[in-house]
Amino acid sequence: MRFRASCALASVWMLSCGTLATEAGDTGAERPNALAGPFRLLGKDEIDAPGAPYVLDKQFWRFRQPTVLADEPGVVLGATHLYAVATDTGVSGLFRFVAPDGRTFSPKPDPAAPVIALEDADAPEVARVGDAIWLFYSTPAGIFLARSSDGAVFELPTAPVLGPGGGGWEGGKPPRAPAHVQIAPDDHRLLYEVNGRIGEARSSNGEAWTRVGDGPLLEPGDDVDGEPAFDGFEVGDPEVLQARSPEGRWVTRVYYTGRAADGSTGIGLAARFGDEGPLERATSPAFTGPRGPRAPAVVPQGAFTLLFLEQRAGTKEDWPAIAAGIAPATRRIPVP
Amino acid sequence: MARRAWLAVAALLWALPAAASPADTFGLGARSAAMGSAVSADVRDFSANYYNPSGLALARGLDLTAGYSYAAHALEMNDKDSRVDPVRGIVGGIVAPGSIGFLPFAFGIATFLPDDRLSRARASRQEDPRWVLYDNRTQLIFISANIAIRPFEWLSVGGGMTYLAATRGSFGISGTAVLASEYDSQLRHEVDADLTTQRYPEFGVTVRPHDRLDLAAVYRHQAAIELDIDAELAGTVDASLAKVPARYALESHTVNAFIPRQVVIGESYRPVDELSINLDLKWVQWSAFKSPVSRSSTTLEVDVPPGLIELPPNPKPTRVEDPGFSDRIVPELGIEYRLAVTPDLTVPLRAGYIYEHSPVPPQTGLTNYVDTDRHVLSVGSGVVLREVGAVLPGNVRFDTYAQLSILPTRITLKDSPADYVGDYRARGTILNVGASVSVGFE
């Protein structure tokens, strides 16, 4: 009798082991390369100012062509400087703006005067090289390099470091929209836009640049499945950085503006292993939107990446403004 | 009488509810799982419904089993937990032997009922990393019903059906949405969902060429559990100044789980009465694997006045790449030693090993079907009590098992440096434990 009761109890116990369902699954697993994109725009709770996803938006200032430099590399969402082309009371130039939290920029430039007071200065690119701040920019004469010790006062150069020339594919036009990366202490690379394509040059000191190869590094994209590519007409505004894959492979990533024949734009991603050779495109853009996104600037922030770009300020507001995005798109950075 | 029995069995085969098979991954039944699933030539309990239906005809009497199993995944990518759900549920079944005239006959039913959920459908994008063999495929009900005959003392033959559930559904919303006041909106919605049945057959044969040797061959057909969803939203958006007609349509087709065709040959050798040494070789046609990627297309049609709102472009239909899986032969090894403690008490000791070479090709391109090879080590034991009492002229069996799957590290290096997923290494373990109680009448 006792045995039968034990059997019955054991059976009931085994059949009653069910518990409430759990909610989990592997689709939440983050992609190893999620820092590379795709990006989403920041939301209202992620910028400590009205107007998200815009971080700089004033109709007559016409903020455009951002480039960004963190004050202290390695500090997540620390003080950050953004250089952009802007127009103040009719005077255009390259201005510097400050964000204490890495993305909420004061609309008042610091310093108040442009750091490069040239009407035709365009497409700045800022980089920290040793103890100096280098600021590349382009004019109709080519690409110039200004240097500074504090990022606020720059010595104006008298001649471009990269002027018109190069192979036939450049068509004798001046290069613009520089993007700089330092591979080694005496190995600098400069990506630039000419003729709707992206080229590459190298230098040991930042002053004397030699074009790499006889052709462009990146050309407009081919049709995909019979459909025109988002960057099928022109590519430009490169932004370059180096990263290491989870398996330790060095990857050079290039973000760029892709333009289709209908005038629409998107932010593309192309990359290569190491620091030599051709670029390979990602299968889809890193960011798209209906307001003409262009001129990407990317800032790694440890577990995520911030993207700053230029696009129209609204559906009816057709002036340019600077917006911010983030990758992985699942990551949120609410303001404390 | 015999005709009635056949009719009853036939009716049962056609009337069972929808079901599917997690048994492929974790085995079925405490004894069989403990022996590394190498039991195709050595099965006569309810798990014969899965391993070899002809084994039903070898049962000595009515046999009932109920138990519980739990499989916990510890699968990770780049040292991050992939959070693959556990699989747990009630397992059990029945074997009912008899005879039709002079012909020994038996039928059986086996089931695995998950207690988390009856089924799960999760459609992912093509590039999303997923443990393709362990996420949706094992989150299913399993019900299998079979019959078997034993025309000769040395030969038994069996077959039957396993049942799968496929979902087809549609929903539609129509009416007017008033932006200024949702209370003035008038929307109608319709939902139409079907849980339809898919069946796949299995057959098995067992031959006894020698008193100490059994040989078996088993065929299990393939099946795909599909999920079809159509949705439509059609109506008018009332924005006070303008009434905007809008239509949004979604069509999605997903293969939620795929059960590949399998052929098993196996042997069971008993060098002494107390010892069984089993080996199965299972051919699995993974090359027919159907991608679990959702084939979806969406259409958004809104006649918006210029400058009012910005609409995203319609996404392009998904072009699904061939998974390119490879067929595999899976060796399964099992051993059982039956230790007779007293004439009425036996303690079986069991162990098993399975090696599954991953059928998934290197994921260097767009897709990210995460998988590695799998080594399965299993042990089990139990108690067999005979002559328990006058009301039970047979035996009572308690069986337990533990099964550890070791998935060694597999490194994926992407061809494209601009791949949004990037390089990763996958590895993990799966711990599967269970217990059952069986009652056998002789």
The full set of domain ranges for chain A reads: 31-327
Please write down the HEC assignment for all residues of B164-192.
EEEEEEEEEEEEEEECCCHHHCEEEEEEE
Q: Name chain B contacts of A15, Cβ cutoff 8 Å.
A: 66, 68, 90
Q: For A246-267, what is the mean pLDDT?
A: 94
Which B residues 275-314 touch A at CB under 8 Å?
307-312
Q: Do A26 and B389 touch (CB under 8 A)?
A: no
Identify the residue with better confidence: B239 or A276: A276
Which B residues 131-150 touch A at CB under 8 Å?
131, 135
Average pLDDT over chain A, rounded to an integer: 88
pLDDT at B23: 85
Q: Do A32 and B423 touch (CB under 8 A)?
A: yes
pLDDT band at B130 (very low <50, low <70, confident <90, very high): confident
CB B333 within 8 A of CB B279: yes
Instruction: Using the predicted structure, report yes or no on whether residue A78 has a pLDDT greater than 60.
Output: yes
Q: How many CA atoms lie within 13 A of B129 on its CB side?
A: 32
Q: For A285-291, what is the mean pLDDT?
A: 93
Q: How far is A262 from chain B (nearest CA, A)?
A: 14
Q: Do A38 and B388 touch (CB under 8 A)?
A: no
CB pairs under 8 A between A and B: 138
Chain B residue with CA closest to A282: the answer is: B418
| B124: nearest CB among A27, A38, A225 | A27
Q: For A29-39, what is the mean pLDDT?
A: 83
Q: Do A290 and B311 touch (CB under 8 A)?
A: yes
Which of B138, B366, B420, B436 should we substitute to test contact with A (largest number of A Cβ atoms within 10 Å)? B420
Tens of pLDDT along B192-217? 766 666 789 999 999 999 999 999 99
Is the peptide bond preceding residue A38 cis, with omega within 30 degrees of 0? yes
pLDDT at B311: 63
Q: Name chain A contacts of B292, Cβ cutoff 8 Å.
A: none
Range A31-327: architecture per CATH: 5 Propeller (2.115)
Overall CATH class of domain B2-441? mainly beta
Interface check B124 vs A, CB under 8 A: yes
pLDDT at B169: 63
Q: How far is B45 from chain A (nearest CA, A)?
A: 18
Instruction: Using the predicted structure, report yes or no on whether residue B112 has a pLDDT greater than 60.
Output: yes
How far apart CA A282 and CA A57 sit, in angstroms, is 30
Q: Hey, what amino acid is at B42?
A: D
| Non-local CB neighbours of A86 within 8 Å, separated by 6+ positions | A56, A61, A62, A63, A64, A92, A93, A94, A95, A109, A114
**Token pair recorded at residue A176:** 């613009």
Interface check B126 vs A, CB under 8 A: no
Q: How far is A267 from chain B (nearest CA, A)?
A: 13
pLDDT band at A6 (very low <50, low <70, confident <90, very high): very low
Percent pLDDT > 90 in chain A is: 71
Chain Cα centroid distance, residue B42: 22
Of A62-66, A270-274, B78-82, B358-362, the one with minimum mean pLDDT is B78-82
pLDDT at A150: 93
Of B95-109, B250-264, B322-336, the one with minimum mean pLDDT is B250-264
Q: Do A271 and B80 touch (CB under 8 A)?
A: no
Of B5-19, B52-66, B76-90, B138-152, the one with minimum mean pLDDT is B5-19
Cα radius of gyration rounded to whole Å, chain A:
24
Which of A3, A7, A13, A14 should we substitute to test contact with B (largest number of B Cβ atoms within 10 Å)? A14
pLDDT at B177: 66
Other Cβ atoms less than 10 A from the Cβ of A19: the count is 10
Which of B423, B425, B430, B433 should we substitute to test contact with A (largest number of A Cβ atoms within 10 Å)? B423
Identify the residue with better confidence: B297 or A212: A212
**Token pair recorded at residue B238:** 């009332």
Please write down the HEC assignment for all residues of chain B.
CHHHHHHHHHHHHHHCCCCCCCHHHHCCCHHHHHCCCCCCCCCCCCCHHHHCHHHHHHCCCCEEEEEEEEEEEEEEECCEECCCCCEEEEEEEEEEEEEECCEEEEEEEEEEEECCCCECCCCECCCCCEECCCCCCCCECEEEEEEEEEEECCEEEEEEEEEEEEEEEEEEEEEEEECCCHHHCEEEEEEEEEEEEEEEEEEEEEEEEECCEEEEEEEECCEEEEEEEEEEEEEEEECCCCEEEEEEEEEEEEEEEEECCEEEEEEEECCCCCEEEEEEEEEECHHHCCCCECEEEEEEEECCCCCCCCCCCCCCCCCCCCCCCCCEEEEEEEEEEEEEEECCEEEEEEEEEEEECCCCCCCCCCCCEECCCEEEEEEEEEEEEECCECCECEEEEEEEEEEEEEEEEEEECCCCCCCCCCCEEEEEEEEEEEEEEEEEEC
| A272: nearest CB among B70, B77, B417 | B417
Of A42-46, A165-169, B145-149, B383-387, the one with minimum mean pLDDT is A165-169
Instruction: Using the predicted structure, report yes or no on whether residue B17 has a pLDDT greater than 50.
Output: no
| Non-local CB neighbours of B337 within 8 Å, separated by 6+ positions | B274, B275, B348, B349, B350
Average pLDDT over chain B, rounded to an integer: 85
pLDDT at B236: 76
Selection from B377, B394, B290, B338 nearest residue B62 by Cα: B394
Residue B191 burial by Cβ neighbours in a 10 Å radius (0-12, 13-18, 19+): exposed
Chain B residue with CA closest to A286: the answer is: B420
What is residue A162's DSSP assignment?
Answer: B
Percent pLDDT > 90 in chain B is: 55
Q: Do A32 and B421 touch (CB under 8 A)?
A: yes
Q: How far is B162 from chain A (nearest CA, A)?
A: 23
Selection from B117, B88, B94, B89 nearest residue B107 by Cα: B94
The model's pTM? 0.82
Strand partners, B93: B65, B110
pLDDT at B9: 42
Q: Do B417 and A18 touch (CB under 8 A)?
A: no
Instruction: Using the predicted structure, report yes or no on whether residue B244 has a pLDDT greater than 70.
Output: yes
Of A275-284, B8-17, B71-80, B126-135, the one with minimum mean pLDDT is B8-17
| A315: nearest CB among B80, B116, B307 | B307
- Say which residue the tokens 């990022």 belong to: A151
CB A253 within 8 A of CB A227: no
pLDDT at B259: 87
Instruction: Using the predicted structure, report yes or no on whether residue A22 has a pLDDT greater than 60.
Output: no
Q: Do A246 and B124 touch (CB under 8 A)?
A: no
Q: Name chain A contacts of B115, Cβ cutoff 8 Å.
A: 17-19
- Say which residue the tokens 């599909």 belong to: B226
Q: How far is B440 from chain A (nearest CA, A)?
A: 14
Q: How far is A209 from chain B (nearest CA, A)?
A: 26
Instruction: Using the predicted structure, report yes or no on whether residue A21 has a pLDDT greater than 50.
Output: no
Instruction: Using the predicted structure, report yes or no on whether residue B6 has a pLDDT greater than 70.
Output: no
Q: How far is B124 from chain A (nearest CA, A)?
A: 7
How far apart CA B154 and CA B57 sit, in angstroms, is 11
Q: Do A27 and B122 touch (CB under 8 A)?
A: yes
CB B1 within 8 A of CB B13: no
Calculate the alpha carbon distances from B393 to B43, B60, B97, B153 in Å: 21, 12, 16, 24
Which B residues 72-101 touch A at CB under 8 Å?
75, 77-78, 80-86, 88-90
Q: Name chain B contacts of A251, Cβ cutoff 8 Å.
A: 417
Which B residues 368-407 touch A at CB under 8 Å?
388-389, 396, 398
How far apart CA A164 and CA A168 sit, in angstroms, is 11
Tens of pLDDT along B367-412? 999 999 999 999 999 999 987 766 677 899 999 999 999 999 999 9
Q: How far is B152 from chain A (nearest CA, A)?
A: 37
pLDDT band at A25 (very low <50, low <70, confident <90, very high): very low
pLDDT at B441: 87
pLDDT at B240: 64
| Non-local CB neighbours of B64 within 8 Å, separated by 6+ positions | B46, B92, B93, B94, B438, B439, B440
pLDDT band at B1 (very low <50, low <70, confident <90, very high): very low
Q: Is the dihedral of CA A202, A207, A208, A214 positive or negative?
A: positive
Q: How far is B131 from chain A (nearest CA, A)?
A: 7
pLDDT at B121: 60
Instruction: Using the predicted structure, report yes or no on whether residue B83 has a pLDDT greater than 90.
Output: no
Q: Name chain B contacts of A2, Cβ cutoff 8 Å.
A: none
Chain B residue with CA closest to A18: the answer is: B115
pLDDT band at A310 (very low <50, low <70, confident <90, very high): very high
Chain A residue with CA closest to B434: the answer is: A14
Instruction: Using the predicted structure, report yes or no on whether residue B249 has a pLDDT greater than 90.
Output: no
Q: What are phi and psi of A142, to 5 degrees?
A: 135, -155
Cα radius of gyration rounded to whole Å, chain B:
26
Q: For A80-109, what is the mean pLDDT?
A: 92
What's the complex ipTM?
0.85
Chain A residue with CA closest to B308: the answer is: A315
- Say which residue the tokens 């005077």 belong to: A91
Q: For A291-304, what is the mean pLDDT?
A: 94
Instruction: Using the predicted structure, report yes or no on whether residue B347 has a pLDDT greater than 90.
Output: yes
Q: How far is A100 from chain B (nearest CA, A)?
A: 30
Of A52-56, A109-113, A313-317, B419-423, the one with minimum mean pLDDT is A313-317
Interface check B416 vs A, CB under 8 A: yes
Instruction: Using the predicted structure, report yes or no on whether residue A111 has a pLDDT greater than 90.
Output: yes
Selection from B441, B343, B391 nearest residue A4 by Cα: B391
Chain A residue with CA closest to B318: the answer is: A225
Chain A residue with CA closest to B435: the answer is: A14
pLDDT at B301: 77
Q: Do B420 and A30 touch (CB under 8 A)?
A: no
Percent pLDDT > 70 in chain A is: 91
